[in-house]
Structures are given as structure tokens and as C-alpha cells.
Amino acid sequence: MPVSITIKAENESPVLKMFEHLIGYDQKAMFDEIGAYGVSSTQLRFVDQSDVDGNPWKQSWRAKLQNGQTLRDKGLLMNSLTHNAFENGVEWGTNIEYAIPMHFGSHILPKTGQYLVFNVAGNWRKVKEVTNPPRSFLGINQDDDEEILDIIGRHLSG
């Protein structure tokens, strides 16, 4: 099942104002470059272990036990990020189902029985519930805004 998180710019966004001036311009190549940048910027958050605003993610149990990184065990989520460029916009994200609870956080209770039983890094856990904190990775920050404006500027002057 594909997963979609939509982020809309505010009316005062410099990126949005720049797009208003591009009506009639062949934008697909520009949007493709913006999408590639968006994927790269998002993947860097997995490497840096931080959210869109640069705040560090809370380290997961598995990462603590293995002295590893959160959401980087096999790298499936990070490596699933991709983009689609259109004539009038771009989107980037993932189709991995667990992206939503990882991005927004989740609270898990047992469906049957009193406990959740699972293995973390070779250690069995038996707990009544699990709360995963949000580890947001999708979004656009001020640095992204500036890079996207640079991409737009290069395409307009090219």
C-alpha cells in the first residue's frame, strides 16, 4: 500500500512565489532535479539521525543494543525513497507501509493476549505496549528552501 505525506507551502513561501512566475515554462526537468535533491536531503536525515529541523531522533532499542543507527538496520526505508516529476510539480517519498508510524510515531498494544513479544537484536522482549516516538524525515526546511530556489534560478538562467 503506497504511503503519502503531503506538505504544502505557506502563501509567503519564497519557493511558492517563484513558482508563480514560471507559468508556461517547461518545468519537468527542473522538477526532476528538485525531486532528486529532495530525496537526497531526506536520505541525509537518516545518516544524520535527525528530523527536518535538525533535532536528533530518539535512538531505538535495536540501535542501542547493536551500537547502530535508528531506522538504518537494513536501510529499507531510506533506500525506498524516490521521486516523481510532473509538468506542474514534484513529489518524493516512499511506498513502505511503516513509513507513517516511523514519521509520526505510534502506540502499539497487543491484539491478543496481555503482552507483545518480539525479538530485538537477538534479545526477546515481553512488554504490555510499545510507544515509538516520531522520527520525522519528510519535509522541507530553510536550507531546502534555499537549495530549491537555487535549482529554480539555474533553470531560469540556463
pLDDT one-digit tens code per residue, 86-139: 888 899 999 999 999 999 999 999 999 899 998 877 889 899 999 999 999 999
Q: Are strands 130-132 and 123-127 parallel, antiparallel or unpaired?
A: unpaired
Residue range 40-98, pLDDT digits in tens = 999 999 999 999 999 999 999 889 988 999 999 999 999 999 999 988 889 999 999 99
Q: Is the pLDDT of residue 24 over 70?
A: no
pTM of the model: 0.79
Helix (H) or strand (E) holding 103: helix 99-104
- How confident is residue 16, by pLDDT bands cut at 50, 70 and 90? low
Neighbours of 19 (CB within 10 A): 19
Q: Where are the domains of the chain?
A: 14-157
